[in-house]
Amino acid sequence: MRYGLVGSTGRMGQEIKKAFVDHTLCLTVDAEKTWSDGTQPEVIVDFSNRSSLPNTVNLCVENGSALVIGTTGLNEDDFSMLRELGKDVPVVQSYNFSLGVNILKMILASYSKLLEDWDSEIVEIHHNKKKDAPSGTAIMLQEALKKPAVMHSLRMGGIPGDHSLIFANEGEVLSFNHRAISRAVFAYGALEAAEFARSANPGFYTFEEVLRCKLKK
């Protein structure tokens, strides 16, 4: 697979290059500097920041490339841009490409009706350089619940990502916890999404949909 990488010198960019070691990096974008070996990437991967999104979308249009995007802090205009791109190429978007987080999201969505009368709070902890709060993952998990939940955000040290969901009624407490031990888990999820996107029909997909397609095989 030929792939392009936006933010290739960043921490996630380095992890993605390790995960994609058996594939060919043919395009990189870093701080307004673009390098290409002259071939067209089948998939472009972007885990950088939302200010890069317009340029990333333009690169996908120019090259006919699918897109895997894990950028957080996106707004409705950004999603509109991605859905418009999805009319022409496959786009896989998620705030978290961890298999475990997406399984948790699927569990919450399946049983949200049973938890609607419980008090619900979400605690998320990330490294002290993460700018957005609450995290995109916390927002994604709250959306799976289909109800509001109080959210607490901590920014400490070099923690890749911890998420805890706590539910309580008058007689019991139920909690779910997910801890990312390494950023590599997100890069391997991105690889799975890229392998899906290179042969998928144009459209706007979540990583959960990628996993559900895998279950059907």
Residue 192 annotated in ligand binding: no
| CA 151 – CA 134 distance, rounded (Å) | 7
Residue 163 annotated in ligand binding: no
How far is CA 126 from each of CA 17, 49, 205, rounded to the nearest angstrom? 22, 16, 26
Residue 12 annotated in ligand binding: yes
Tokens of 187: 């890069």
Residue 155 annotated in ligand binding: no
Residue 196 annotated in ligand binding: no
Residue 199 annotated in ligand binding: no
| CA 205 – CA 170 distance, rounded (Å) | 39
The residue whose two tokens read 């333009």 is 58
Residue 33 annotated in ligand binding: yes
Residue 8 annotated in ligand binding: yes
Residues annotated catalytic, as ranges? 126, 130
Residue 7 annotated in ligand binding: yes
Residue 100 annotated in ligand binding: no
Residue 188 annotated in ligand binding: no
Binding residues: 7-12, 32-33, 70-72, 94-97, 127, 136-137
Binding residues for NAD(+): 7-12, 32, 70-72, 94-97
